[in-house]
Amino acid sequence: MDPSRGVWTATADVDLVLRLAASGFDWVALDAQHGPVDRAALHALARALHGAPVPFLVRVPGVDPAWIGAALDAGALAAVVPSVTGTAQAEVVARAARYAPAGERSWGPFPPMWGSLAPEPATADAAQQCWVMVETAGALTDVDDIAALAGVDGLFVGPLDLALSLGVPVDALLDDTTPGNPLSRVVEAGRRHGVLVGAFAGTPGNVARLRAHGIGCLAVTTDAALLALGAAAVLAAVDPDQQD
């Protein structure tokens, strides 16, 4: 997963998500925090993506063990957990993503509902991941302890919310290269503890800025941005004189 180029989706449209999964990205993220992916949509999307050429991730709505379990039950490569405020919440998240004795995940995988085999618990624990979003001042303060937790496989930076939490503009956060800057602290914690470090970029320009910090696993664009860019490219190609 590192480096990799993912696409972030805020849709429950099965056909669109399947097309995105076949478009050359390395993974697809389904957004259940700021999108219409409820539990019914998660089931439908997961069934459609079962056997897709690339894995999918699910950003769950928050620090919610039931949702973390459901995302992994659906077959997600990783549950991406937002709004973590520090080590204590990260411990809850990590245990929710693992079966006993390592954690407290409840047994209930989705694949048998559409005629496929369920993975063994040990196989699922080895294959599926838990990514803690670093997007609050508290998570940044505790980032080294979070990265060291058993069951945390990745740190995923949410630049927009992290900038809000720190009280700085997003551009200032992304372009800060001073010693001990926030993004370098996340990267260094990941390296020290051998966990993945990723981030939401959203635009090609932000991809370059995040890569400059050493973050290679990136959501490089969104479904909405692709639609807008594609429409602009087509219109420019057919009527270049009418473009601003």
Which residues of the chain, if any, have pLDDT below 50?
none
Residue 151 Ramachandran class (φ > 0 left, ψ -120 to 50 alpha, else beta): left
User: How high is the pLDDT of residue 241?
Assistant: 80
User: Could you tell me which CATH number the domain at 4-242 has?
Assistant: 3.20.20.60
Say which of 34, 50, 193, 213 is annotated catalytic.
34
Q: In the chain, what are the domain boundaries?
A: 4-242
Q: Is 34 a catalytic residue?
A: yes
User: How high is the pLDDT of residue 243?
Assistant: 63
List, as one string, the DSSP characters of 68-121: HHHHHHTT-SEEEE----SHHHHHHHHHHTS-TTT--PPP--SGGGGT-PPPPH
User: How high is the pLDDT of residue 2?
Assistant: 77
